[in-house]
Every structure is written in structure tokens, then in C-alpha cells.
Amino acid sequence: MSEIEPFVGIDLGTTNSVVGTVIDGVPRVIASRTGQILTPSVVAVSKNGKRLVGNIAKRQAITNAENTVFAAKRLIGRRWGSKEMEDARKVLPYQLVPGPEGHDVRVVLGGRTFAIPEVSAMVLAELKADAEAFFGRRVAKAVITVPAYFNDGQRQATKDAGRIAGFEVLRIINEPTSAALAYGFGKQMEKKVVVFDLGGGTFDISVLDIGKSVYDVVAVGGDTYLGGEDFDRRIMDWLTFSFAKENQGIDLRQDTMALQRLRDASEKAKIELSSAQSAAIHLPFLAAAGEGKAALHLAKQLTREKLEELTKDLVDRCIQVTERTLRDAGIRPAQVGEVLLVGGMTRMPRVQQAVKQFFAREPSRGVHPEEVVALGAAIQAHALLYPQKDREVLLLDVTPQNLGIMVVGGYFATIIPKNTTVPTSQTHVFTTVQDQQTSVRIAVLQGESEKAIENELLGEFILDGIRPAKRGEVEIEIAFDISADGIVGVSARDVDTGQRQSITVTATSGLTENELRRILDENLDELLERKQSGELERLRERSLAMIKEIESLVPQVQEAFSRSRFGKDALQKAESVVARARAAIASQDLQQITAMEEQLDRTVQLFKGLAGGAPFPGGEA
């Protein structure tokens, strides 16, 4: 291969996103076209209807709060009406509505509704454009990271977002694993590593056993609703409360613009307190005091001590989750060889101190907490695309939560326990409970509670077409598998007849395939389409030439096979390849033709070899 096709690794964060790649064996981040490493995960539609993404969207958030979407990651893959979604709704200034099927969450932006993966896709598309500007050509292949604790629905939705943005998503990998990969890349090490990842919206903890370039995840834990934004909110609450106390009960939360200014000021103060002991918060003209009175200003001094007091329980929660995860992994803090701090929130001195105290060791300072995840994703993309001789890498990740089904009594029966290495699969046999029963309804869930209702519902499956028989006579084997992406698949078959049963997904928290296709169609860039048609013409001609060549070789190949009892199926195979190639050409589908071109090429090579006078038993050399 003379030139390597460009690829990227993307850390799609709650507050900020980063894109990276590997060049000449060295991982590096790609700066945006305006020179920034971090791209805010913010999307907006301006007053004049323009779509804005990243820094520019973040800057106008104060004046256009209703039409600015941030922290979309908190909603991705969540079901409408779930506790997590309701919690998020209370604090987000933009409007949420249910999707057409009533299962997923949509946002209203500039008078239109968007599915959450569409919003995330806008951020991804921005990063894609940055990467394309950097490489000077099209970039399609990507590895995208998600918090280790993300469930199936959230992973699937993230993958959908990648597709909508025009990426071919090679793999969804976990953020802590990705960080460990970037940390260990190019080093020879044999040790247990703990990654403590406290980002903008999520907290993740992973325990890895690294050795011989194999990154074997032993256990993961986390909380998808614990991150930097929760720290910000504590400051905001403190500010609004004291403001109300000082100004006759004026509630700033009623004013979206004031709220947005408070949010920005809180985040700024928090960051400042990582290096300073005290931060001043000044927000002039924050609220109107009423008819004829001067506008009200906010001026407060926040000390590091006060911040630590306000957020003590959040830090404690992190340590509790860490403790539990280490127990799951079966190791003691003293056995840990390295602790990596990842995510902007780990810059807070109190967090570092808590980690140091728990592990009784100084955490590593060898990685850049904000870039490391994107770099690891880029390394994994590289490993998934090109064979590495000297710097081989193999990631073995695990499932974050128990996967199971709802059984009689509303209980949850675990089928694949958490911390199982993926890819994995497990089968479970069901029997019918009624005479002449022809369908079964199966609710697949993910979570850690014994009660089904307290876990996340991934989907409901209706299995029908079961052959009618007495109850208990039909046994249906359901196979659950989890891919390397952490995405769940379900299939079923009749144990006695071996016949596969159809499974219909009736409720998911994501987009349906049809909807995804519609969005993809809408997003199709006109320019891209034109470029493709030139490519299409070239491919068409090449394929037709190969078909002609194959057909001209058929008599010779038949002759060659005539004296042998072998090879008959080679001709049949070739016939079907030609037929499918013709169909692909007729459909004008670039992808299909590309796929067929390869098969045609192989057939041509085979036929040439066979017709080229290869001797057969009994023949003369």
C-alpha cells in the first residue's frame, strides 16, 4: 500500500470532543480549523436559521439558550420517560419531546425536532471536517469512544450518530480502555492499571491487566450521571440560592439567559479553583429588580474550601464506585501498578487527593487528561486497519452491566454477567407455557437490580411463528450475543426442528433502521453525490470488462473441469457472482458495486489460473 487511507479516533465528550489520528506510528491530536484542540460538544441554530457547531455555538449560547443544545451525550440512547431523562430535563434549557414512536428523546432546535444521534452527528461531522482539512482529503473510517458504563442503547445510538455524520464506524470502544491504550502504547509493561475517568458528564473506572501488548479489561464500573457538570451545578445552586436570599427571593432559574450566564461563570470559577485558592464571580446586570429599579448584579467570592464542601458527596461517590469495581476485579488497591487520571475534572486537587489516599500512591501524570482518550481511539483505529508488526495492540474489553431478561414475577434473570470479556454469547432455552402458544414476548434488560423494572429496558422482542403444540413441548433456544462494540444481538431457534424463529424488536430507545436511512438520505451532500457519479462510471466500466473476461473464459474452464469430478461448484459460484455483479451495476449502488468488484477480480484470477493449461489427472503435461 503506497498511501494509507486516513482514519481518526474520536473522543465524543459530554462537554468537549477531541479528534486524533496516527501518523508514521505516532499518535497525535488534530486541531480544529481555528486551531483549537477541544471542540465544545455544542450545537445551535442561530436566529437567522444557520446551524452552528463547536466554539461558535458555545459562544452564542448566552443569547440563544433555547436553541443551543449541549450535553446531548446525557440523553443519547435514553428512553423517553426514563428517570435519567427526566433528571436531565429539569436542568436543560432546551426543549425535549418524545420521538414519533414515543420511545426515544428528541430536541427542538430552530423549530425542527432532531433525534439525539442527529445532534451528536453534527458534532462528529464538525470533527470530520477538521480532520479532512488536516489531511486534505476525505476521511471515512473512525473509532468512537463511549463511557465504559454505557449500555447497549447508548452505544447503538452513538454508532448511529457516527453513521449519520458519514463515518464508517470501525468500533465503539470504552473511554478508560482507550486512555490505557494511549498510556501503554509503545511501552513494554506487565501490570495492573486503573483508569479513573471523571469527565464532563460521566464517571468511569476501569481495571486493566496489561501484558505483552494485550489490554485485558478485568472490570469496569461507573456512573453515567456523575461528572464535571454536576460540580458546576452545585456552584450554580449555591449562587442562585444566595442571590435569592440577598434579593428578596428572585429566582434566577426562571430566566434562561441568566441561567446560561451562571453556568458559564460556575464552570470558569471551578477551573480557576484548580490552581487558585479563591475565585471571584462577577455577573453584572444579571436580573431585573422590577419596575423603575436598577438592575441587579451578582458578585461573589468562591473559595476552594467552599467548593470542596459543596461537592464533597460527589467525590465520595467516585471513591465508592472505585472501591466496588476493585472488589469486582478481585484485586486490592495495593496490587495496582499504576493509576491514570483522565478527564478534565481530575484536575481538581480534591479529586486527586482522594484518589491518592485510596490507592496510597501518587497517580500517574504521564498522560494529558483531555487528549488521551482520542489518542487511544486513534491507536485502536490504526490497529483495526493495518497490521502492526512492532507495535501490536489487542484490546479485550468487557460488558459493563448484567444482560438478562424479565422472568415470571417481574424478576431479572442474568444471562451474561457484567465484566464478561466481549465478544461473547450465551444461549438460554425457553419453553412455551400455554397449549398451542405461537408467540413469546421477551423483554431484554441491562442493569444490576434484581427487579426487572429497575433495570434499563433494551428492547422487547416478539418471537412468533412457533409451531403449535402442547405447553412445554416446544423449546426455543434464544442466543444473546455481545459484539466487540458492546452491542447486543438476539436470535432464536426451535431446539427440535432447528428452525430459526423471527424476532421483531418492538421498542428501542434509538432510531429505527428506516428512520436512520431517511436521515442519511437527507444528509447526503450534493457535492459528494456528483463526485460519486464519476466514480460510479469508472467502477461500472471496470466491472463490465471483468464480467466479459469471465464469460470468455467459461468454455476453457469447463473443458478443464470436464475430466474431473471436482470444481463443478466453482463454475456455479462464478455464475452467481456475475449475476450479482450485474444486479449491483443495475442498482447504481456504489457500495454494492465496490463489494462485487473484489469478487469479480478474484473470479477472473481463478479462471485465468484454471484456463491457463493447468494439468488434470490423466492429462498430458
Partner 1 sequence: MPVDQGFIFNPADLSEDVDLDVERRREILFTHAHLADWTHWQVLGLPWNATAEQAREAYREKVKIFHPDRYPAKRLGSFRARLEQVFRRLTEARDVLANETSRAAYASRTAPPDEFARAEARRLDDEGRTRERRARLARTNPIVARIGRVNELLQRGKQRMADGQFSQALNDFSTALAIDPALAEAKALAQEARKRTSADKAKELWDNAHAAEAVNNLELAQEMAAAAAEADPTSPRYPIFAARMALKRGALETARSQAEAAVRIAPGHGPAHEVLGETLAEQGDKGGAKRELERALELDPGLERARERLKRLRWSFLG
Judged by CB under 8 A, the stretch of 244-252, 381-389, 434-442, 451-459 that binds partner 1 is 381-389
Nearest-10 Cα torsion for 33, 35, 36, 41: -10
Catalytic residues: 11, 73, 175, 197
Angle at 402 between CA 400 and CA 403, to 5 degrees: 110
* CA triple 164-169-175, angle to 5 deg: 110
Binding mask 444-483 for partner 1 (x = CB under 8 A): ----------------------------------------
Residue 191 binds to partner 1 (criterion: CB under 8 A): no
28, 84, 98, 211: residue in contact with partner 1 (rule CB under 8 A) = 211
397 binds partner 1 (CB under 8 A): no
Footprint (CB under 8 A) of partner 1, residues 294-353: 330
Of 324, 320, 359, 367, nearest in space to 342 by CA = 367
Rule CB under 8 A: say whether 609 interacts with partner 1: yes
> Residue 489, interface with partner 1 (CB under 8 A)?
no
From the list 272, 235, 240, 273, the residue with the least C-alpha distance to 255 is 240
Judged by CB under 8 A, which of 104, 130, 216, 230 binds partner 1?
216
Q: Supply the minimum distance, in Å, between the C-beta of residue 421 and partner 1.
A: 5
Binding mask 222-241 for partner 1 (x = CB under 8 A): --------------------
- Counting every residue, how long is the chain? 621
User: Could you tell me which of 460, 403, 571, 486 has the C-alpha nearest to residue 152?
Assistant: 486
Stretch that binds partner 1, among 96-104, 360-368, 539-547, 559-567 (CB under 8 A): 559-567
**Grid-cell match 498511501, residue found:** 3
Q: How far is the CB of 561 from partner 1 (least distance, A)?
A: 8
Q: How far is C-alpha 237 from the chain's CA centre?
A: 31
Q: Does 395 bind partner 1 (CB under 8 A)?
A: yes
Q: Which of 111, 387, 409, 534 binds partner 1 (CB under 8 A)?
A: 387
By the rule CB under 8 A, 610 interacts with partner 1: yes
When the beta carbons of 209 and 223 are compared against partner 1, the nearer one is 209
To partner 1, the closest distance from the beta carbon of 147 in angstroms equals 21
CA distance 369 to 169: 24
Residue 249 binding partner 1, by CB under 8 A: no
Distance set, CA 274 to CA 203, 280, 303, 311, 340 (Å): 19, 14, 11, 14, 18
Nearer to partner 1, 58 or 171 (CB): 171
DSSP-derived 3-state class of residue 456: strand
- Interaction pattern, residues 65-84, with partner 1; x per rule: CB under 8 A: --------------------
From the CB of 570, what's the least distance to partner 1, in Å? 8
Give me the sign of the Cα torsion angle 366, 368, 369, 371: negative
CB of 380 to partner 1, least distance (A): 9
593, 595, 611: which is closest to 550 by C-alpha?
A: 611
- Based on CB atoms, which residue is closest to partner 1, 141 or 356? 141
Beta partners for residue 114, in sequence order: 107
**Which range binds partner 1 by CB under 8 A, 274-282, 362-370, 382-390, 549-557?**
382-390
Give the full edge-to-edge strand order of the sheet including 394-396: 338-342, 191-198, 203-211, 214-223, 394-396
Q: By rule CB under 8 A, what count of residues binds partner 1?
A: 35
Q: Does residue 423 bind partner 1 (CB under 8 A)?
A: yes
Integer-rounded Cα Rg, in Å, for the chain is: 28
Q: Stretches 23-31, 40-48, 386-394, 534-542: which one binds partner 1 (CB under 8 A)?
A: 386-394
Per CB under 8 A, 209 contacts partner 1: yes
**Least distance from partner 1 to the Cβ atom of residue 503, Å:** 20
Assess contact for 19 and 29: CB atoms under 8 A: yes
Residue 360 is a binding residue for partner 1 (CB under 8 A): no
Q: Is the separation of the CB atoms in 419 and 219 below 8 Å? A: yes
- Burial of residue 308, with CB atoms counted within 10 A of its CB: 0-12 exposed, 13-18 middle, 19 or more buried: middle
Q: Cβ atoms within 10 A of the Cβ of 460, count? A: 16
State yes or no: residue 51 binds partner 1 (CB under 8 A): no
First-residue to last-residue Cα distance in the chain: 37
Q: 190 or 521, CB closer to partner 1?
A: 190
Q: What are phi and psi of 569, to 5 degrees?
A: -70, -20
Can residue 383 be called a binding residue for partner 1 (CB under 8 A)?
A: yes
556 lines the binding site for partner 1 (CB under 8 A): no
Where does 372-499 show beta strands of DSSP type E?
394-396, 402-407, 411-416, 424-431, 439-447, 456-464, 475-482, 488-494
Nearer to partner 1, 208 or 318 (CB): 208
Quick note: the x/- pattern for partner 1 over 589-608, rule CB under 8 A, is -------------x---x--
Q: Give, as one character, the DSSP assignment of residue 467.
A: P
**3-state DSSP helix/strand/coil % of the chain, to nearest 5:** 40, 30, 30
Q: Binding partner 1 by CB under 8 A: which of 26, 189, 214, 524?
A: 214
Is 562 a residue that touches partner 1 (CB under 8 A)? no
CB of 614 to partner 1, least distance (A): 4
Bridge partners, 439 (sequence order): 464
Cα→Cα distances 228→158, 224, 343, Å = 21, 12, 9
Q: Is 565 in the site for partner 1 (CB under 8 A)?
A: yes
Q: Determine, following the binding rule CB under 8 A, whether residue 491 of this chain makes contact with partner 1.
A: no
What residues line the site for partner 1 (CB under 8 A)? 209, 211-212, 214, 216, 330, 383-387, 392, 394-396, 421, 423-425, 484, 561, 564-567, 570, 602, 606, 609-610, 614-617, 621
